């Protein structure tokens, strides 16, 4: 799109932040070099919503690929096939697939490529006028249930559905994710426990970790500290930014480095 982009990513075991840091930093460096400019390229940090693939995968494929048509960047589906900043043409076979998992998406429409492409095209045609607003641009109760009317209907029957603004999915899916990522307080490491653990392993004090020193050993200890505070202590990136006086990109980098050190 003119001022933003959408990616549909199937999560693996590695953190999304690692991929996005490399992608956005790499693109910014390449763009700046090509256009002989310097400084930040992206205005804001990316926004990520965890979605229930079983429920929303194909709807998200259609929603994202139809964005240029809704925004009138192209006039029709034939134009959408030729639009190089969209994966639709790759799925229909009009363009090179690049990094898009063409076979994986088409497998949801059939085992034979020709018939799968036809079914995919019919699916897109059916949904070209369905999406009016930002139905799948975030999580939370209203979007997970498909609108305010559905939420009101549940509440009218006295039904409570667990939700989270970071997740697109029904209550059972949200609950299963929260059980994984939100460890009970008693299982988390406190800040002091992290400080003690890092000092035990590296011999580096918290005062040095919190300093602006770029000494290799201190940076390594700082990375381990950020990793443990975030992954084992439940601290957010924003908390660490304020605590250490570092940017979000630097915190993401240190967390990644700390994971490598611990492994």
pLDDT in tens, the chain (263 residues): 988 899 998 877 677 888 888 888 889 999 999 999 988 888 877 888 888 877 788 888 999 999 999 999 999 999 999 999 999 999 999 998 888 999 989 999 988 999 999 999 999 999 988 876 666 666 555 455 555 454 445 445 555 566 667 777 776 766 766 665 665 555 678 999 999 999 999 999 999 999 989 899 999 999 999 989 988 888 888 889 889 998 877 887 888 888 777 65
Nearest to residue 21, comparing CAs of 244, 227, 253? 253
Q: Residue 65's pLDDT is what?
A: 95
Predicted pLDDT at 77: 95
What is the Cα–Cα distance from 142 to 147, expressed in whole angstroms? 5
Residues 6+ apart with CB under 8 A from 67: 1, 6, 86
HSE (side-chain half, CA atoms, 13 Å) at 130? 16
Cα 148 to Cα 167: distance, rounded to the nearest angstrom: 17
End-to-end CA distance of the chain: 39
Tokens standing for residue 165: 């603004």
Per-residue confidence (pLDDT) for residue 234, from 0 to 100: 81
Cα–Cα dist 261/176, whole Å:
29
Rg for the chain, CA atoms, rounded: 22
């Amino acid at each position: 799109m003119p001022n933003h982009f959408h990616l549909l990513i199937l999560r693996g075991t590695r953190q999304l932040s690692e991929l996005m840091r490399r992608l956005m930093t790499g693109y910014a460096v390449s763009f700046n070099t090509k256009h002989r400019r310097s400084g930040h390229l992206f205005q804001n940090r990316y926004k990520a919503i965890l979605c229930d693939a079983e429920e929303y995968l194909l709807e998200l494929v259609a929603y994202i690929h139809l964005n240029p048509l809704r925004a009138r960047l192209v006039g029709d589906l034939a134009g959408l096939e030729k639009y190089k900043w969209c994966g639709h043409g790759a799925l229909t076979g009009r363009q090179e697939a690049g990094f898009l998992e063409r076979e994986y998406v088409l497998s949801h429409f059939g085992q034979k490529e020709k018939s799968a492409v036809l079914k995919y095209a019919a699916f897109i045609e059916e949904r070209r006028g369905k999406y009016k607003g930002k139905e799948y641009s975030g999580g939370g109760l209203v979007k997970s249930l498909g609108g305010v009317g559905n939420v009101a209907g549940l509440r009218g029957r006295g039904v409570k559905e667990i939700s989270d603004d970071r997740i697109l999915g029904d209550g059972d899916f949200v609950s299963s994710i929260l059980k994984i990522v939100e460890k009970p307080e008693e299982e988390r490491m406190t800040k002091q426990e992290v400080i003690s653990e890092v000092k035990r392993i590296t011999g580096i004090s918290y005062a040095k970790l919190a300093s602006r020193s770029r000494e290799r050993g201190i940076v390594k200890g700082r990375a381990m500290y950020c990793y443990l505070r975030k992954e084992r202590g439940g601290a957010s990136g924003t908390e660490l930014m304020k605590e250490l006086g570092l940017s979000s990109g630097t915190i993401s980098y240190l967390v990644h480095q700390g994971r490598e050190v611990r492994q």
